[in-house]
Structure 1
């Protein structure tokens, strides 16, 4: 029999967020819609339009500037890195500004670099912002009840996500244990790889025990499962998908109208 658990209290930041209570499946869908359109073209116009719209919508995400930049730090690092690589080794076209060996900076590579930076930001930032408020259990409920994915796959993924949070604790425990034995104060590189291997072994053992325990409790049974919490898909979810689709269509329309559309599969 399916039972519905009471809703857990949310933090103040989550209550202020307009997307915190949206079904995770809708967040996945909106993010994929934007990514699908932006990976089909490499031009700065479509990426700029999408990024501008996203930055406006981020104000309703309920995040402070500090939280926003901390959570998206890797995106801000990856975007310039990708742009620099494209700038130095991208497609040569137009005037040559600088060359050295295999490095060739031209008008074409500059334009591609700018487009690459904007595209990485336009794809990465909304993905991170949308996933910040996703609880792994809510995601599993949505994938199992709304997306109708196999329960065995969903529950296995949920168990794996729950274990990710233990990695830092395990790493800290290994570090303290090695220092207590007097072998963790020198050779930073060697210590890192030794601890990484130990963490890998520990993770495999824990995963095997968890899989056995879940199998013993019937999580792998070939029958239709019931769910403790109901996952609904209503007006808020459709609204988020509509916003994602609207931004994608607007980016394509402006890019085509300005003649900047550059279909990568052509």
Structure 2
């Protein structure tokens, strides 16, 4: 199983090292996490939307991959608008609901910030293969090979877990025990899947140990993980987006450091 289908592995960023994609997403996200204002989030989002077509995703693929983000961001904004900290003129007040000028501004900033942080992450990682990511983490970032390979093996098991869940559901239906009691059925299937997962994990650990995955000393890798000009360019683009967004917020006087003292 991969994180994408073969149709998505095209475009300018498809062959870039996953470590660079991870770094670019982090460079964009970190400044936006430390502030909550409309200007920085709006500027970052606008720059991202200009660059997203170069990622190689068709618009149909783009909407199919990112629709949860477009759904979650407005819902988050609505929650902030209704229950966020009130300030300025109050427009609606009923029980715990208080919609004010400040809460609406905060809701807009939150919605834009969610979009600005999540969209580049989804677009960049939709073209990431788990094996390529593991190679990059171990060879470029020098993370412990045992940890990286264990995480890769666990990620590869996700597809099997889904298949096991479907098989358990079909088996219970064939035995006539899945027609009622949804909560009880879910708990029973979850416990059965847990037992299967523990058994499969033990077998996988034994097999990997027998093949020398836990041996001490430096490892060799079947594929070299390269980090070159394209990767540095992507990191530079991520840093530029963050710098322009922060600079615009400071220039507009809206910069709001939410993790500072007080």
| Shorter-chain TM band | over 0.9
Number of corresponding residues: 256
7, 10, 14: which one pairs with 2:9? 14
Residue 152 (structure 2) aligns with: 158
- Where in structure 2 are there 5+ consecutive unaligned residues? none
CA shift at 1:33, angstroms? 0.6
Question: 1:49 & 1:130 partners in 2: Cα distance?
Answer: 19
**SS state of the match for residue 104, structure 1?**
strand
92, 98, 103: which one pairs with 2:92? 98
Where in structure 1 do 4 or more consecutive aligned residues deviate above 6 Å?
none
Residue 82 (structure 2) aligns with: 88
46, 70, 78: which one pairs with 1:76? 70
82, 89, 109: which one pairs with 1:115? 109
**SS state of the match for residue 255, structure 2?**
coil
210, 218, 238: which one pairs with 1:224? 218
53, 57, 67: which one pairs with 1:59? 53
* More off after superposition, 234-243 vs 97-106: 97-106
Question: 2:71 & 2:192 partners in 1: Cα distance?
Answer: 29
CA shift at 1:37, angstroms? 0.8
Question: 2:69 & 2:191 partners in 1: Cα distance?
Answer: 28
Residue 7 (structure 1) aligns with: none
Question: 2:161 & 2:255 partners in 1: Cα distance?
Answer: 43
1:93-128 C-alpha deviation (Å, 9 max, x unpaired): 100111122221111110010100110111011101
Residue 259 (structure 1) aligns with: 253
For normalisation by structure 2, the TM-score amounts to: 0.94
Closer, same or farther in 2 for the Cα pair 1:83/1:12, shift >3 Å? closer
CA shift at 1:201, angstroms? 2.2
Contact kept? 2:92, 2:100, Cα under 8 Å:
yes
**SS state of the match for residue 98, structure 2?**
strand
